[in-house]
Amino acid sequence: MKFQEHEKRPYIQDTPNSRDLEMVFLPTSFRTATFVAATLLSHTIPALSIRSSARKSPAAFAFLSSNRAYHLRSNHNQLKMSTSAEGSTAKRVLVPIADDSEEIETACITDTLARFGAEVTVASVKPDGELVCKMSRGIKFMADVTIDEAAAEEWDLIALPGGMPGAEHLRDCNALIEILKKQKDAKKQYAAVCASPAVVLAPKDLLPDGAATCYPAPPFRQVIKSAVDDDVVVTDNVTTSQGPGTSLKFALQLGEQLYGKEKADEIVAQMLV
C-alpha cells in the first residue's frame, strides 16, 4: 500500500483542539481509501463521530471526539453525509441509517453518489428522533433528517447499508418499510447491501423473484430464494450487494443506473478504480 504526504492543499483545518495533528496521508489509489480511512481513524481518533455540516457549508464536515475537533475540508473530493447538488438534473437519494449500521457501506454510498451529482440525504430511523447514530465499529454519524421527515418526500433511489444489528433496526422501522413499499409499487429504484437484502428486504416481500445477493453467511443466504455469489446483482429495479468490500462497486452501479454509463466511466476514472 502506497501513501503520499499531502503538502499543497490543507485538508485538515486547524482548530484550537487539533494542534497535535501533524500531517495527512492520502492513498494513491481510491481502491484502498476506505480501508486506509477506517484504519487511520480507528487508531488516531478514539470515539470518533462524524457530523454533517452540509447545510451550513457544502465543503466541510466535522470529526468530533471527546477531546479533539477536526474539520475536514476539500474542494471536491470530500466525504459528505449529505449534499445539495446544483441544477434540476440532480437525482434524490435516501440513505437510511440506524445504530450499528455499517459505516464503510454508508460512506461508499453517500460519497460516491454525491460525486455523480446526486442530492443525498441520510435519515435516522431511531425511534426517539435522535439524528446521531453509533455505527457498527463505533464511529458516530449524524443524519440530516429523521425517517418521518424523509417519508414526506419522493426519492429516485433508496439505498440501505448493512451491518448487524443495524439491519434489524432498519427492518423494524415501520416508516422505512412503508417508504420502500411505496418505492416498489412505483417501480422506482431501491437497493441494499450486506445483511440488509436478507434481513430487511426478504421478510418484507421487497426482493424481486429473480436473483439477489447478500453477505455470504448461511443464515442470510438461506432466506433469499435465488441467492447468487456475484458482487453486485441487478434484478428489475432492485440492486443488491455482498458487503463492505463490494460497496464501492455497488455504489458505482447505482450511480450508473441514475446517470448513465458515460457518467459512471467518468467517475470511475476520477476515483482511480
Positions marked catalytic? 194
Amino acid at 243: G
Q: Are 161 and 214 in contact (CB under 8 A)?
A: no
Spatial separation of the C-alpha atoms in residues 203 and 193, rounded to whole Å? 15
The CB-based long-range contact list for 186-190 (8 Å cut-off, 24+ gap) reads: 187/236, 187/237, 188/155, 188/156, 188/157, 188/237, 189/156, 189/157, 189/158, 189/237, 189/238, 189/239, 189/254, 189/257, 189/258, 190/157, 190/158, 190/159, 190/160, 190/237, 190/238, 190/239
Spatial separation of the C-alpha atoms in residues 83 and 111, rounded to whole Å? 9
Amino acid at 67: N
Contacts of residue 22, Cβ cutoff 8 Å, sequence gap at least 6: none
Retrieve residue 152's grid coordinates.
Answer: 414526506
Spatial separation of the C-alpha atoms in residues 64 and 70, rounded to whole Å? 7
Please write down the HEC assignment for all residues of 121-164.
EEEECCCCCCCEEECCCCCEEECCEEHHHHCCCCCCEEEECCCC
**Antiparallel, parallel or unpaired: β 60-64 and 145-146:** unpaired
